[in-house]
A and B are shown apart, each in its own frame.
Chain A
Amino acid sequence: MSKAAELANLIGNINAGGGGVNRNLVINGAMNVAQRSTSVTGLGANGTNYSTVDRFYTYANGTAGRFTMTQDSSAPDGFANSLKLDCTTADTSIAAAEQLVLAQVIEGQNLQRIKKGTANALPVAVSFYVKGNASATYMCALVDNDNNRMSTKQFSVTTDWTRITINVPADTTGALDDDNAGSFNLNFYLHAGSNLTGGTYTESTWGASTDANRAVGISSFFDSTDRTFFITGVQLEVGQNPTEFEHKTFGQDLIECQRYYTQETAASGSPYKRYGFGGWNTSTAGEIFIPLSTPMRDSPPTLVSKAAANYQAYSANATDALTAIAINAESNNGTNNRIVGLTFSTSGGGVAGEAVQVTATNDTASYLALDAEL
């Protein structure tokens, strides 16, 4: 895009109520943050799966196809990372209900600037970079979960990085809830059966979110184990014209991601990593607290861990293996909490009232995470 065109787009978007700093409504669009893992194999079983790059999940249903998801270093100029899907098991016999979607959900309270469902509703622009192992056609759908509406647009993938730009018109029907629930889904349909392909393709027009119209005319990501799909630079902004991707520092991306998921991970130099501190309530039970640098979207979050025996209570220079660990949902109700409590049990060794830490047990692969994803 020429500088003149970029400037014209930016001015156009500012005039339409968008533009400027923090214009990108997608979090971690440059795929820089991957707290959970940088590569996970064998994905494709039924259900929602947040596995590598933060905030982006895959949803699979009914397919025998399997894939590896990776934070990959292949990226267009100006980017360091992309999200890569690599088909490892093909599925060429596609049943009606099958689907594979890559998606991000966006909170309604972050979308109020669009003024959707009002007479002053604004258009939005979606943009992203994609490439694959060969030519393919997939579908990008912006889905309004609050009002069961969507706007779809097919896009083409080639073997070179290509920037896709999509203009989504203003929608005066269906206001978005002003809360911390998911109001928009930005969906990329990569594989689908006739339940999602058997309808009518309508390009960039808001209408009812009819299943049969979601993925009309797309290729199948699972048609061959040669198949790959790379994506980065995902942006959703107010305005009629996509502008250049809004890059953020790693720290900014990480903070935004930690509203939804935060993970402490041991490393080679920290096999006894400390996860939190608190006190014993009895000789076999206690509670620790984990201060949060970023209040999470919802509280209490889900605790994600290894089995309890992989952690220990450490107090008065003695250790006791945990027999159970749980989120304390009594003390964290509400939102914007800056501390999360965990309860734990041991077989003994505690002294009521004595301070205690919970640590890893000489385990460089140890981790403890809190999940408030949508």
Chain B
Amino acid sequence: MAIENAKYIKGDISGENMAINCVWDGQHLSVPIAVGNRHYDEIKKQVDEGKLTIADAD
């Protein structure tokens, strides 16, 4: 699957990264940073393989 425009999203309360927004095969996804979430697991796999970079949060 094609994952593009990946970017971290920070939580308002914690101020820490809580999700990753991206375009996944043309659909807009907001993926929680949670091992076991199938989207997060694929993003992490592609990052580990050097195929995907995630932009910092605003």
- Residues of A near any B CB (own CB < 8 A): 45-49, 181, 281, 285, 287, 298, 300-308, 324-330, 332, 342-343, 371-374
Contacts and interface: CB of A to CB of B under 8 A. Distances in A.
Interface of B: 1, 9, 11-14, 18-19, 21, 25, 27-34, 36-39, 42
B11 A327 contact: no
Q: Is the interface of B mostly helix, strand, loop or mixed?
A: mixed
A300 B36 CA distance: 11
A51 to B, nearest CB: 10
Contacts of A298: 34, 36-37
Contacts, number: 73
Contact of A304 (B9, B18, B29): B29
Contacts of B13: 330
Nearest to B27: A304
A330 B29 contact: no
B1 A327 contact: no
Contacts of B29: 302-305
B30 A326 contact: yes
A326 B9 CA distance: 8
B30 A181 contact: no
A329 B12 contact: no
A47 B38 CA distance: 12
13 contacts: A46-B1, A298-B34, A298-B36, A298-B37, A304-B28, A305-B28, A325-B30, A326-B9, A328-B18, A328-B19, A329-B19, A330-B12, A371-B39
Q: Which residue among B25, B28, B30, B31 has the maximum number of chain A CB atoms within 10 Å of its CB?
A: B30
Contacts of A326: 9, 19, 21, 30
Contact of A181 (B27, B31, B36): B36
Nearest to A343: B12
A283 B38 CA distance: 34
A47 B30 contact: no
A304 B31 CA distance: 9
A325 B28 CA distance: 10
B28 A330 contact: no
A301 B31 CA distance: 7
A347 B28 CA distance: 20
B31 A327 contact: yes
Contact of B32 (A181, A302, A306): A302
Contacts of B12: 281, 285, 287, 330, 343
A330 B32 CA distance: 9
Given A48-B38, A302-B39, A328 B11 contact: yes
